[in-house]
Amino acid sequence: MTSVASFFFGVVVALSCLSLQQLASAADPSLLQDFCVADSTSNSNFITVLLNGVACKNPSTVTANDFYFRGLHVAGNTSNAQGSRVTPVFATQLPGLNTLGISMVRIDYAPGGQNAPHTHPRATEILTVLEGSLEVGFVTSNPNNNHFTKTLYKGDVFVFPSNAVHYQRNTNWNAPAVAIAALSSQNPGAITIANAVFGSQPGISADILAKSFSLDVATVNFMQSKF
């Protein structure tokens, strides 16, 4: 191979690697305009088109209200099995977030309530405690599965890396707690581990789960019956 051919071959390989890196990126795509307010009616009168995100509203019809959300001052209803409630502010609730690569949530915890172990497949999360105290933690990937945990108090901040299994629990059994979290995606997604493993539809074979968790099949069947 001549030196010129080698040079161009190297350029092609470098560009290919760059393209693959961009395709593999977990972040939301960059903006190509000032904003792209989500148009929730984009498919109502036309043939349905599936997009990686939400279609843009006509800029001439955009108003300040498209960049505004009211409701995070309202406490969420924590009367459920986990004793917590997540109030999301995603592009669905705040159209102006569309393509901006960021969102936030309010999380309310009943006394002793928890936000069960889960992951966000498309986002890193940074959480701030507004009221009360929380035990928080995340687990790293295989093979180490290191568990990093900390007790947070009002004003404390903790970050959960993208895709890491993480959780929060109110350490006070006599008073509620409140937190605000920001996430690095307009639609971070959430996979609650217990729901995904034991509550999938159709269900994962009890034999597979029994072997995976070193349990007997009867115990797995019992666990699946709870979801």
Q: Specify binding-site residues.
A: 115, 118, 120, 125, 166
Handedness of CA 113, 171, 117, 162 (dihedral sign): positive
Q: Binding site for oxalate: residue ranges? A: 115, 120, 125
d(CA 108, CA 132): 10
* b/e sequence 65-75, b meaning 16+ C-beta within 10 Å: ebeeeeeeeee
Measured CA distances, 47 to 25, 35, 53, 108 (Å) = 30, 24, 17, 40
Q: Binding site for Mn(2+): residue ranges? A: 118, 120, 125, 166
Cβ(125)–Cβ(182) below 8 Å = yes
Measured CA distances, 144 to 141, 147, 148, 187 (Å) = 7, 9, 12, 29
d(CA 75, CA 109): 9
Cβ(123)–Cβ(188) below 8 Å = yes
Contacts of residue 73, Cβ cutoff 8 Å, sequence gap at least 6? none
